[in-house]
């Protein structure tokens, strides 16, 4: 551990090691004026590899102890700053945290030449730093400390989903990388990163390092033949260009892909280094000037759960095609009243358990809906038929409920039938994320979901209802394998007339107590899905 030098100064390394503070926390204390900015100079200890580190006066110990004492008393950081009164004794103007040695202050250095003209330092943590990184005292920030959030990330950054479409982007990336508003693009495939980079100019050369960087990510996950599925409007010329980039990845011939150094169109005088952080949900790409350390960013990225949550909350609303299913347990209020609480909850859990496999099988995504029942979305995807998936899932759910109903009749010894009434609709609407404690919920805004909910109300005894528009979107082969139609009463018997539709108002008599519930879809043409041939 570094000791105070002859002038009574203490290095930031010693402060972090002794107090257990994180570097981001120490930087925030400086930024808020609680701790005076350090003196930046060459390390006194020759074993420290960094060119410069920060040194503080020994009064910093008392200040940190006071901050901790105030925090134990439950005071806010603003109150603590006022109590310490450091800002009043310092020169006016915003202080910037100057601790250039990053997490532990000791690095080994590698030099790389960029186009033979500009030299950049890439810093790698040495063994001493790794020990400090692994120490829980350093890695875990203190409670109530102000920490860098995704909103405060000043480097150009964006989140790609697994189809390489931008789902979140900060203003810096729009200005420095794309020089246009990406958030105004409402169609998801219009925000495909390869499409955006290719459309930025008549030649690939200015954006080749960026293309190389993303193609290096693509090549690790997909085969070359998948390039023609990158986005719907990809042309033969674009496929050829992208295949050439893919081959360069195989040959490891691209320095930009290997070292991720590049110039960005909105700031051509600066060399940036690209960083990617892989999540199950996608990839966060961050670009920092290659001669700067990403202060606070490493700690932000280490808090994976919070980072993903913040990013998902900021996902751009997107206009997409989809099918939606609303499923509701018939007479759920009566069943709840008849069963002891523990048995009712057991029933609901069993229903969810028997359904989740079908939703996963047909790529259903759970969603938020203001009405009753469970809602699942089936999104248009280049590898799946989203409408047919919704229909097949509904038919499978109906059969699963029949089995579960028989099991309950045998085990419980009752005569109640369990029916899952299902409504399916399709549409093109804006999708987004609704923040909700403790999770993020996926939702669509518009009438498509409401109509599916109404069809679920219309359905009885486990039937599946859908719209004429949805059936019309199926290809001829798909319609041939489906049985659908309307039940009509002929004297004393019911007759199924296949391959026809009916208005909702003709299915529910005007004098029925239920008729008022369907006024908003009275003229909607619908049909009942029966089975597959």
* Predicted TM-score of the model (pTM): 0.52
**Residue 84 structural domain:** 9-114+124-135
Walk along the chain (533 residues) and give the pLDDT tens digit of each residue.
444 444 578 888 888 878 878 777 888 788 777 888 888 888 877 777 667 788 888 888 888 888 888 777 777 777 787 777 544 344 333 333 333 333 333 222 333 233 333 332 333 334 343 333 333 333 333 444 444 455 667 789 898 988 899 988 999 999 999 989 998 888 888 899 999 998 887 666 778 888 888 998 898 888 999 998 888 888 898 999 899 989 887 655 444 444 578 888 888 888 888 888 777 768 888 888 876 655 555 555 555 555 566 665 666 666 778 899 999 999 888 888 888 988 888 888 888 888 888 998 998 888 865 555 788 989 886 456 899 999 999 999 999 999 999 998 888 888 888 999 999 999 887 666 555 544 545 566 668 888 999 999 999 999 999 999 999 999 999 999 999 999 988 878 889 999 999 999 999 888 888 888 898 899 999 999 999 98
Q: In this predicted structure, what is the pLDDT of residue 307? A: 58
Task: Assess whether 130 and 13 both reside in one domain.
Answer: yes
Task: Assess whether 301 and 445 both reside in one domain.
Answer: no
The domain that contains 276 carries what CATH number? Answer: 3.30.450
Q: In this predicted structure, what is the pLDDT of residue 444? A: 65
Q: In this predicted structure, what is the pLDDT of residue 149? A: 56
- Give the end of a domain, one of 306, 329, 348: 306
Is 172 among the domain residues?
yes
Alpha carbon separation from 77 to 32, 56, 67, 90, 145 (Å, rounded): 9, 21, 9, 18, 8
The domain that contains 416 carries what CATH number? Answer: 3.30.70.1230
The residue with tokens 């004393």 is 492
Task: Assess whether 216 and 292 both reside in one domain.
Answer: yes
Is 144 among the domain residues?
no
Phi, psi of 120 (to 5 degrees): -125, 145
Is 145 among the domain residues?
no
DSSP, res 295: T
Task: Assess whether 28 and 54 both reside in one domain.
Answer: yes
Task: Assess whether 195 and 100 both reside in one domain.
Answer: no
Q: In this predicted structure, what is the pLDDT of residue 302? A: 52
Burial string for 300-320 (b: 16+ CB within 10 Å, else e) reads: bbbeeeebbbbbbebbbebeb
Task: Assess whether 334 and 282 both reside in one domain.
Answer: no
Handedness of CA 475, 481, 482, 488 (dihedral sign): positive
Is 479 among the domain residues?
yes
Task: Assess whether 76 and 176 both reside in one domain.
Answer: no
Is 372 among the domain residues?
yes
Q: In this predicted structure, what is the pLDDT of residue 88? A: 39
What's the domain count of the chain?
A: 3
Is 431 among the domain residues?
yes
CB 111 within 8 A of CB 121: yes
Q: In this predicted structure, what is the pLDDT of residue 52? A: 77
Is 141 among the domain residues?
no
462: left (phi over 0), alpha (psi -120 to 50) or beta: left
- Give the end of a domain, one of 286, 306, 326: 306
Cα angle: 177, vertex 183, 185; to 5 degrees: 105
The residue with tokens 């699963």 is 400
The DSSP result for 190-217, as a single string, is GGBHHHHHHHT-S-SGGGHHHHHHHHHH
Task: Assess whether 77 and 195 both reside in one domain.
Answer: no
Is 142 among the domain residues?
no
- Give the end of a domain, one of 100, 135, 170: 135
3-state helix, strand, coil in the chain (%, to 5): 40, 25, 30
- The separation between the first and the last C-alpha atoms of the chain, rounded to the nearest angstrom, is 77
Task: Assess whether 98 and 164 both reside in one domain.
Answer: no
Q: In this predicted structure, what is the pLDDT of residue 12? A: 84
Task: Assess whether 327 and 447 both reside in one domain.
Answer: yes
Task: Assess whether 33 and 83 both reside in one domain.
Answer: yes
Query: How far apart are alpha carbons 166 and 447 in whole angstroms?
Result: 26
Query: How far apart are alpha carbons 204 and 217 in whole angstroms?
Result: 18
Task: Assess whether 332 and 299 both reside in one domain.
Answer: no
């Amino acid at each position: 551990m570094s000791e105070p030098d002859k002038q009574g100064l203490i290095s930031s390394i010693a402060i972090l090691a002794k107090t257990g503070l994180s570097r981001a926390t120490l930087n925030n204390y400086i930024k808020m004026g609680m701790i005076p900015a350090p003196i930046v100079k060459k390390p006194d200890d020759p074993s420290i590899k960094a060119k410069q580190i920060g040194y503080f006066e020994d009064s910093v110990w008392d200040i940190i102890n006071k901050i901790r004492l105030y925090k134990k008393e439950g005071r806010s950081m603003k109150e603590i700053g006022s109590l310490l009164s450091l800002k009043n004794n310092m020169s006016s103007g915003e202080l910037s945290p100057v601790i250039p040695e990053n997490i532990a202050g000791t690095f080994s250095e590698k030099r790389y030449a960029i186009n033979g003209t500009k030299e950049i330092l890439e810093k790698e943590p040495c063994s001493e730093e790794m020990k400090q990184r692994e120490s829980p005292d350093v890695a875990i920030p203190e409670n109530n400390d102000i920490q860098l959030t995704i909103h405060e990330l000043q480097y150009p950054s964006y989140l790609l989903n697994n189809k390489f479409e931008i789902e979140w982007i900060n203003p810096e990336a729009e200005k420095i990388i794309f020089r246009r508003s990406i958030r105004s693009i409402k169609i998801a495939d219009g925000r495909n990163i390869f499409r955006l980079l290719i459309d930025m100019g008549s030649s690939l050369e200015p954006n080749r390092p960026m293309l190389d960087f993303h193609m290096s990510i693509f090549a690790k996950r997909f085969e070359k033949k998948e390039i023609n599925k990158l986005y719907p409007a990809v042309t033969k010329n674009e496929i050829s260009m992208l295949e050439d980039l893919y081959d360069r990845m195989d040959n490891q011939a691209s320095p930009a892909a290997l070292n991720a150094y590049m110039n960005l169109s909105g700031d051509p005088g600066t060399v940036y280094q690209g960083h990617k952080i892989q999540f199950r949900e996608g990839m966060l790409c961050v670009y920092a000037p290659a001669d700067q350390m990403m202060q606070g960013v490493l700690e932000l990225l280490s808090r994976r759960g919070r980072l993903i949550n913040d990013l998902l909350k900021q996902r751009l609303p997107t206009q997409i095609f989809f099918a939606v299913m609303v499923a509701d347990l018939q007479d759920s209020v009566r069943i709840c009243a008849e069963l002891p609480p523990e048995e009712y909850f057991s029933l609901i859990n069993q229903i969810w358990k028997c359904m989740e496999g079908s939703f996963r099988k047909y790529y259903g995504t759970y969603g938020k809906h203001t009405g009753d029942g469970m809602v699942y979305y089936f999104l248009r995807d280049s590898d799946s038929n989203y409408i047919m998936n919704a229909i097949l899932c509904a038919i499978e759910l109906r059969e699963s409920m029949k089995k579960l109903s028989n099991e309950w009749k045998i085990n419980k010894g009752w005569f109640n039938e369990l029916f899952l009434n299902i409504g399916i609709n399709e549409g093109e609407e804006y999708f987004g994320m609704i923040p909700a404690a403790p999770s993020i919920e996926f939702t669509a805004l518009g009438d498509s979901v409401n109509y599916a909910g109404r069809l679920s109300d219309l359905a009885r005894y486990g039937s599946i209802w859908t719209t004429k528009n949805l059936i019309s979107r199926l290809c001829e082969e798909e319609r041939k394998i489906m049985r659908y139609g309307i039940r009509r009463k002929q004297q004393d018997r019911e007759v199924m007339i296949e391959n026809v539709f009916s208005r909702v108002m003709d299915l529910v008599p005007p004098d029925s107590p239920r008729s008022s519930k369907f006024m908003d879809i009275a003229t909607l043409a619908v049909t009942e899905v029966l089975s597959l041939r």
